[in-house]
Structure 1
Amino acid sequence: MYSFKQKIKLALTACLLSTGILPVIAQQSYELNQGWKCTKANTVQASGTQISSPQFDLSAWKPAVVPGTVLTTQLANKEIPDPFYGLNNEKIPDIYHVGKEYYTYWFVKDFEEKKPASGEKVWLKFRGINYSCEIFVNGQKVNKEPFEGMFLRKVFDITNLLASNGKNRLAVIVYPSNSPGNPNGGQGGDGTIAKNVAIQYTAGWDWIRPIRDRNTGIWDKVQIEKTGLVNLKDPHVITLVSGVRTPEGLQQPATVKTTAELENTSDSPVSGVLSFKLNGQTVSEKLTLPAKSSKTYKIKDLIVNNPKLWWPAGYGPQNLYDAEFSFTPNGQKVSDFEKLQVGIREIQTSWNTTTQSRQIAVNGQKIFIKGGNWIISDAMLRFSKERYDAEIRYHRDMNLNLIRIWGGALVERPEFYEACDKYGLLVFQDFWMSGDCNGRWIDPMKKEDQWTRRKYPDNHPLFLESAADMIKMVRNFPSLAMWCGGNEITPPEDILVPLRDKILPELDGTRWFVDYSNSDAMSYNFLGGNGDGPYGIQPLEVFWQQRTFPFNSEVGSVGTGDYESLKRFIPEENLKVPYHNTGTKPDTVWTYHTYTGVGYNQFIDPYGKPKDIKDFGLKAQLVNYDQYRGLMEGFSAHQWDWYTGVIIWKTQNPWTAMRGQMYDYYLDPNACLYGLRSGSELVHIMANPIDGMLMMVNNDFTAKRNLMLVATAYDTKGNSKLITKVFTYIEATSIKKILSVKNILDELGAKDGSFLSLQLLDENQKIVSDNFYWYPNAEGKYSGLQTMPTANVEVVAKRLSGDKIEVSLTNKDEKTIAFFNRVSLVNSQSKERILPTFYDDNYVSITPKTTKKVVLEAKAGTQPTQISIEGWNLPIRYIDIK
């Protein structure tokens, strides 16, 4: 269920009269997101009262980006180079060195809004300013009290400040934080960035370089809203779904509990009706609001019969109901209303005594968690609904069911949660703490000792006020599954206790709260260490045989893109194979963008040392695919025995880095995504890399019967050996061992390596799971791949309905396998990939005399398009779309 104010001019229809709701006043909400101007504060001597006068001359001021930061404005005005390209970020002055004044800016916006009639109010709303500010409208200061902290929404009544002619000016001076931190190369720099109630990564981390202005600016939405004298705020919806449910069939009733805060701005008491409407039903309460008051009111429960439930991705549909709160004073028009979408579901947690970890259930059904760690959509806070939608869709396409929002960033925006609701991703939301900055460990890079850092931030009441406000902002989303005190550390006790024992129970009360991300309360640490990892590239056997933490919040970290991805942010002169011999250091640009060469080298070399950057990029994708398929298969092989969940560190990058990403900053997927997609299938067939045991995994709520397993081995010359073709079954939420193929593969591939094709077919002979492995020879080298002949693949691309295209790949050869082929949608003139494009599979291998189909979807607009295909033994080709 998600909440967002969607005010438009309307008159309620006559059908609402039966509920006692009379026609609404003309009201609306709109964003102030264009036409802003700005200047550095120390270049103008005028005061806020002067600058906010509509007569003050702004002709010398420059255009500003709002929502945005100082850096996004400077970039838009071409005052700085793109900090995500090459070493450009080093050319931009850092606030720690040049001081706060350098990034202290005035932002001004002229807007038209007439003074409303008597009985109406106009509100100025900010959804995020970093770090503190002073606000003026038409020569008068708006915020009488300090407005500071990155994570606070603020609303101001500007009714009496509006000009009589409707020509108004808003002026905001934004000050950076007092503690920008020294970007000395440590995790969060010298750690003092955590003195603020703000994002910590901006001082730099091992996966990102410093953001030079520390994201100073009006970084989130600014809105004007009009209501009556009673303002309806922060409605809350709780859905209760008893028992163990299934996605299909008739459902028992669900209970919907609701509250809303009503602010009476008038000097007199106001009587009226607070109503909630969902699924054609309305419940309401008659109330009398004291003068000049603000209070939360409860509405009687609403019972939904045979509800359409919301489920995580893969398990069932993501049903959402339109809903609305409203308040109508007696005998008058609707004063205010809020529209929401409600997902009816209930999330439960319990302690698994076998694994010694928490397990999560939705609507009574336990879910094995396959998650990804998320930092932020864009390191410079350039957020958009469209980008959120694309990124969350990619996570759904990886067959993941959870995203953890890491504690060094923020509580994500409502648009992020909307996308998670849409695509079925549960959300694990950290508050703003990290073990690195907040003192868990000794760290010579930090300015202050652990005891001092343990007390960060400086302003504890501001932290609690911000936490309460963010809880109100996102608590209605069905995707929000749990809260977490911080990344790898608890908040200080005087923050933790009121947050856990008072604020969360009062403002939410329905979700599991874990005190920190690798707490024993989440995942009992009986192995020692910090409770996370392993990080970096691992031999696949590690994921299968080395037991790690039973609900691992962070594990794994690779993600270099291919040549097409790398050339977007690495200058041509640096675009070379990043290593040649074991002791060679990678190029400085590569290391600046967090390339971890030591990890990749030993895994790429068995395929043959790369002859050029394109060859390197292709071989890196083989490693990527194998790593993430193997990681998820290894954890899945021990579900409910060793593990209740795993969360990959990490699945996306908010800038052009090469550590932990399934797609690059430009939304171009790499092979990590498709290896993970394969290994994370709801029903999956796989092979243990240690003993060759074929295993089935069923994460679904129902048993799977009448499945046919087809296992076929190939040598690198294409000779095949049918291992088994047999009917099988698997119970719900379980794993099943079938037989070992190790001896067959060892014998077949001793000299040059081998391939293994595994398929599960349902009773309609439709493929349920399709898994294709490649194995090295007895010496651990992929020698046979070096001598494979060019494949003969017929490619046919045809446009389906809407934005979908189907690509059929037919291997015409008798023996040659067409190995590891990437399909791309490209501009037919420039040959550049069209991004984002969503593929139902990619990096596919086609066995002899078979056909595979890849369906892709993209909004190409008016661009002329083609399909490109390129593989290990298939030179790049471009195919016209029928």
Structure 2
Amino acid sequence: MKKTLLLILVFGVLIACKQKSRSEDHLKIDLNTDWTFKQAETKTDWLPAKVPGTVHTDLKQNGIIQDPYYRFTEDSIYWIERKNWEYRKTINCSKEYLENQNIELVFEGLDTYASIFINNKHIEEVDNMHRLYRINSKPYLKEGSNELKVVFKSPSVEGEEKISKSPYLLPTIAERAEIGKQTAPFTRKASFHYGWDWAPRLVTMGVWRPVYLEAWNSYKLRDLSYALISLETEKAKLSAEFEIEAEVDKEVELLIFNNNDNSELATKNILVKKGIHTYIVDFTINKPKLWWSNGLGEAYLYNLTGRITSNKKNEERTIDYGIRTIELIQEEDEFGKSFKFQLNGKDVFIKGSNWVPGDVFIPNVSNNQYKWLVESAKEANMNLLRVWGGAIYENDEFYRLCDKNGIMIWQDFMFACMHYPGTKDFLNNIEKEAIYNVKRLRNHPSIAMWCGNNEIEEGWEPWKWSEKYKYSSEDSISIYNDYEKIFYEILPKVVEKYDASRHFWASSPSARPGKSGVRYIQNNKSGDRHYWGVWFGNIPFETFYENTGRFMSEYGFQSFPEIKTLQKIADQEDMAFNSLLMNHRQRSFPGNQRMQEVMDFYFKRPKDFKSFVYLSQLNQAEGIKKAINFHRKSKPMNMGTIYWQMNDVWPTMSWSSIDYFGNWKALQYFVKKANKDVIAVPLQQGDNFSLHLVSDRLSSDEMAVTIAVKNLEGQMLSEINNTVVVRSDRSKSIIEPQSITDFLASQNIDSNPKNLVIGIKIQEAGAIIFEDTYCFVPTKDLNLEEPELKMSWKKENDRHYISITTKHFAKNVGVLSENLNGRFSDNFFDMMPNETKEIEFIPYGNEDDTVVAKFSAMSVWNTYNKK
């Protein structure tokens, strides 16, 4: 029976190839199924493999290894990265298919060192995870059955060989390996695979993006890109650039079609010349609708088709394109030199986070996961994500979702926290990598800027890499000259040639505007800034106030994921913040104790591990909220706040605001409120208290502000009402800086601040647009009593509706879904006595509908040891 089915399948493929090759000039055959693999140079059995995929996930699927994320499994599977692995597949080709003039084997991603064979003939050698490889395969294919084989070589072994040929070690701060075996700088793969301070060392191999055969005759559309020439209210002038490869000179027609209104925008008859050439078609869109970032307007997309027609044969490509202008403005001002983005001519305050892949095993990240995370960013009122340089140029689906949801992208090139060799082959390799990815991504309106690297300029200066590695002066000069070649010559030239409308920033953080022979260390007067003093320095969150630059592109603080996430990768014996497993899981050297040390500034010691986990999230949320509030209050001196990091690559404690399974931590809820277009910022520095309003709208608007001072029993002690006009270009003071004592006296309040809570409400045209609470003392000093929380819930369709009541003041009510992943409409909120709060739970899209949801709630009071 199996043989019969196989014959039917093969016959079907042959017929399909035969029929399609007659009717279509360009034929693409998917090769992503029916792969097998084994360890190279062994006589072990061939096992089923998944493509796209990785060797680790294939080994797990076949029961060879445990879940790499479970407990200490990571330590027992390092052997995988030091072996070579073979993958193979059978390709069936008909005689008619082989009659096509050109047949190319296309790998969109190979991780990383690989030899490719067809019918045991070596056809290509590759060495870069970040590139597409297009290989002429027609000479190697035969009618009938063909064997495609890919042999992956150990990145670690290959890297060690490269080290042996290098005149010196190259610095890297993040790779989890012995000094002298830090191979990451020499290998063009995702750097975080070698281990990072939030990621395990799991050095992958595999066919990690799609693979296919593509046949064509006469001509082939290699690339299509659009560029905005000029923009006015009544019309936008654009150009389409067709990159076409042709076998012979040929007359063709080029067409641009707008699918939004079924209109033909331009046609042009041209002579396509033999070889690869580009051809320009100019066109106009009348009364253009602009693409705006989240919060400022609609992220409008034009669905444009570019088509080549010749002898009734068509080849076309359809692209969603957003019309907008975006600039990075750096001008001298009263504070130094600005660092701000202008979208469609308007200053935009950037609110966002740093993005890392959704899984160590990148092919595991589903479209549903991308959708959940990008929509979570939108829901949290973000307008930008920074794609960090130690990972990957993300999948097309990620950028498509960012385009659709108005999320701008700060796009790093894939270089981070290490220096790189300057050999001719290496530089040529990264230039091809840069060209491919710039061309692949340039049509996305979400791409706001290209950045050369993460923290390399910082590493050379304040981190003193030259001294740490004891380089001679000659070696230091050589290494830094190689740095200059990559980040001040090769990469900016690629951006200038292929995506000239976007800005290139060499390194983050940096204050250096461009190559000038002088190295500028990050500061508060120009450029962008990374501030890590709180996490690495064991100091209060208020230190963020003194360390705000022109644009904050990294800062953060850690927390644990919730208990149900930990239960998936740990045993009951592991459930303590300083257990062997939790300490092993922690990859940042201050350790889990740093969370407790900073928590001690604001909270009482938690009574148990569940309480610690809850307080770790609340502590993180309160701290980063302080930073975001101050950054926004500081506009226009500061014009961007991007915390580290939004998501996780595996289940762990980290700086993330969403855990590996998609659950929102307390921080994501706090960010959602702190990123609203209009907010109130209470600011306390020492004994001085003030209150400010901030608006990120493009207009100045009148609003009503209510400041209610109550005691913890809910009694109103004072109410201040103001009607103010809030401008978009700077914050507005509502309560000028003054001592808490003076403020309370001015309101005729004779109460201990430990018994007080301020309610802040902003209304516009009678509608509440912002609400928050504030206490004058750290939470640990509040005179709290048991709130006596009660809750109930019901399910309607795929949503869960939860009602919570409290008898007494409840500080930071955290509602937990104990058996479903997802997010709440609001969480970790304060409740006044006798208040009822209604919230909604939105399950992650892949949850089992048959599971009966279980919810629980706790507040700060529940973390206390009552003895």
Fold match (TM-score > 0.5): yes
Determine if contact 1:715/1:753 at 8 Å carries over to the other structure: yes
1:306 to 284, 287, 303: 287
- How do 1:428-443 residues align onto structure 2 when only pairs under 5 Å count? 428-434=410-416, 436-438=417-419
Determine if contact 1:25/1:228 at 8 Å carries over to the other structure: no
2:733 to 712, 733, 737: 737
Pairing 1:485–2:452 present: yes
Specify the code of the residue in structure 1 equivalent to 2:651: T
Q: Percent identity?
A: 22
- Residue deviations 1:505-559, cap 9 Å, x none? 2211110001111221469844699952134455342233x04332222212323
Comparing 732-741 with 858-867, which one deviates more in the overlay? Answer: 858-867
For 1:42, what is the secondary structure of its paired residue? coil
- Deviation at residue 387 of structure 1 after TM alignment: 1.6
- Deviation at residue 288 of structure 1 after TM alignment: 1.9
Which residue number corresponds to residue 116 of structure 2?
Answer: 135
1:137–1:274 distance in 2 versus 1, CA, 3 Å: farther
- How do 1:725-804 residues align onto structure 2 when only pairs under 5 Å count? 725-739=721-735, 742-743=740-741, 750=752, 752-763=754-765, 765-776=766-777, 781-785=780-784, 787-792=785-790, 795=792, 797=794, 799=796, 803-804=798-799
Determine if contact 1:758/1:770 at 8 Å carries over to the other structure: yes
- Deviation at residue 638 of structure 1 after TM alignment: 0.4
Which consecutive unaligned segments of at least 5 residues does structure 1 have?
A: 1-8, 11-22, 45-58, 244-250, 439-452, 580-584, 877-882
Q: 1: distance between equivalents of 2:438 and 2:115?
A: 25
Specify the code of the residue in structure 2 equivalent to 1:697: V
Which residue number corresponds to residue 272 of structure 2?
Answer: 289
- Residue deviations 1:744-766, cap 9 Å, x none? 67977737453322111221x32
Specify the code of the residue in structure 2 equivalent to 1:832: N
Specify the code of the residue in structure 2 equivalent to 1:766: A
Determine if contact 1:274/1:328 at 8 Å carries over to the other structure: yes
- How do 1:2-401 residues align onto structure 2 when only pairs under 5 Å count? 25=24, 29=28, 31-43=30-42, 60-94=45-79, 99=82, 102=83, 104-116=84-96, 122-143=103-124, 146-159=125-138, 161-165=140-144, 167-177=145-155, 178-179=158-159, 186-188=173-175, 189=177, 190=179, 191-211=182-202, 214-240=203-229, 242=231, 251-264=233-246, 266=247, 268-278=248-258, 279=260, 280-291=263-274, 293-299=275-281, 301-329=282-310, 331-334=311-314, 336-354=315-333, 355=335, 356-381=337-362, 382-401=364-383
Comparing 154-163 with 682-691, which one deviates more in the overlay? Answer: 154-163
Which residue number corresponds to residue 647 of structure 2?
Answer: 652
1:74–1:773 distance in 2 versus 1, CA, 3 Å: farther
1:613 to 593, 609, 613: 609
Which residue number corresponds to residue 48 of structure 1?
Answer: none
Which consecutive unaligned segments of at least 5 residues does structure 2 have?
A: 1-14, 17-21, 164-168, 458-481, 514-519
Give me the CA root mean square deviation. 3.3
Which residue number corresponds to residue 663 of structure 2?
Answer: 668
For 2:207, what is the secondary structure of its paired residue? coil
For 1:419, what is the secondary structure of its paired residue? helix
- Deviation at residue 496 of structure 1 after TM alignment: 3.3
Pairing 1:562–2:554 present: no
- Deviation at residue 715 of structure 1 after TM alignment: 3.0
Q: 1: distance between equivalents of 2:662 and 2:570?
A: 16
- Residue deviations 1:231-282, cap 9 Å, x none? 1112111235636xxxxxxx43222221021111x3x322211222224233
1:403–1:24 distance in 2 versus 1, CA, 3 Å: farther
1:745–1:849 distance in 2 versus 1, CA, 3 Å: farther
Q: 2: distance between equivalents of 1:804 and 1:115?
A: 55
1:414 to 396, 407, 415: 396
Count of matched residue positions in the alignment of Structure 1 and Structure 2: 779
- Deviation at residue 33 of structure 1 after TM alignment: 2.8
Which residue number corresponds to residue 450 of structure 1?
Answer: none
- Deviation at residue 614 of structure 1 after TM alignment: 1.0
- Deviation at residue 379 of structure 1 after TM alignment: 1.7
Q: 1: distance between equivalents of 2:64 and 2:581?
A: 30
Q: 1: distance between equivalents of 2:389 and 2:806?
A: 52
Q: 1: distance between equivalents of 2:322 and 2:23?
A: 27
Q: 2: distance between equivalents of 1:197 and 1:457?
A: 15
Determine if contact 1:484/1:513 at 8 Å carries over to the other structure: yes
1:645–1:203 distance in 2 versus 1, CA, 3 Å: same
- Deviation at residue 340 of structure 1 after TM alignment: 1.3
Which residue number corresponds to residue 543 of structure 1?
Answer: 544
Which residue number corresponds to residue 17 of structure 1?
Answer: none
Which residue number corresponds to residue 842 of structure 1?
Answer: 827
Which residue number corresponds to residue 515 of structure 1?
Answer: 506
Which residue number corresponds to residue 477 of structure 2?
Answer: none
Which residue number corresponds to residue 679 of structure 1?
Answer: 674
1:530–1:333 distance in 2 versus 1, CA, 3 Å: closer
Which residue number corresponds to residue 474 of structure 2?
Answer: none
Comparing 395-404 with 710-719, which one deviates more in the overlay? Answer: 710-719
Q: 1: distance between equivalents of 2:25 and 2:823?
A: 42
1:694 to 691, 698, 703: 691
Comparing 609-618 with 509-518, which one deviates more in the overlay? Answer: 609-618
Specify the code of the residue in structure 2 equivalent to 1:410: I
Specify the code of the residue in structure 2 equivalent to 1:154: Y
Which residue number corresponds to residue 596 of structure 1?
Answer: 591
For 2:292, what is the secondary structure of its paired residue? coil
- Deviation at residue 147 of structure 1 after TM alignment: 2.4
1:712 to 708, 713, 736: 708
1:527–1:700 distance in 2 versus 1, CA, 3 Å: closer
Comparing 398-407 with 109-118, which one deviates more in the overlay? Answer: 109-118
For 2:731, what is the secondary structure of its paired residue? strand
Determine if contact 2:25/2:313 at 8 Å carries over to the other structure: no
Q: 1: distance between equivalents of 2:77 and 2:640?
A: 42
* TM-score where L is the length of structure 2: 0.83
1:512–1:304 distance in 2 versus 1, CA, 3 Å: same
Comparing 65-74 with 132-141, which one deviates more in the overlay? Answer: 132-141
Q: 2: distance between equivalents of 1:486 and 1:36?
A: 36
Specify the code of the residue in structure 2 equivalent to 1:723: E
Q: 1: distance between equivalents of 2:586 and 2:823?
A: 30
- Deviation at residue 122 of structure 1 after TM alignment: 4.5
Q: 1: distance between equivalents of 2:52 and 2:365?
A: 9
- Deviation at residue 723 of structure 1 after TM alignment: 2.8
* TM-score where L is the length of structure 1: 0.81
Comparing 586-595 with 60-69, which one deviates more in the overlay? Answer: 586-595
Specify the code of the residue in structure 2 equivalent to 1:550: R
Determine if contact 2:586/2:652 at 8 Å carries over to the other structure: no
Q: 2: distance between equivalents of 1:347 and 1:184?
A: 35
Q: 2: distance between equivalents of 1:425 and 1:748?
A: 48
Q: 1: distance between equivalents of 2:591 and 2:373?
A: 24
Pairing 1:817–2:817 present: no
- Deviation at residue 394 of structure 1 after TM alignment: 1.9
Q: 1: distance between equivalents of 2:36 and 2:581?
A: 43
Comparing 605-614 with 131-140, which one deviates more in the overlay? Answer: 131-140
Pairing 1:863–2:862 present: no
Q: 1: distance between equivalents of 2:493 and 2:173?
A: 35
Q: 2: distance between equivalents of 1:87 and 1:458?
A: 38
Which residue number corresponds to residue 832 of structure 1?
Answer: 819
Determine if contact 1:85/1:656 at 8 Å carries over to the other structure: no
Which residue number corresponds to residue 402 of structure 1?
Answer: 384
Which residue number corresponds to residue 465 of structure 2?
Answer: none
- Deviation at residue 495 of structure 1 after TM alignment: 2.7
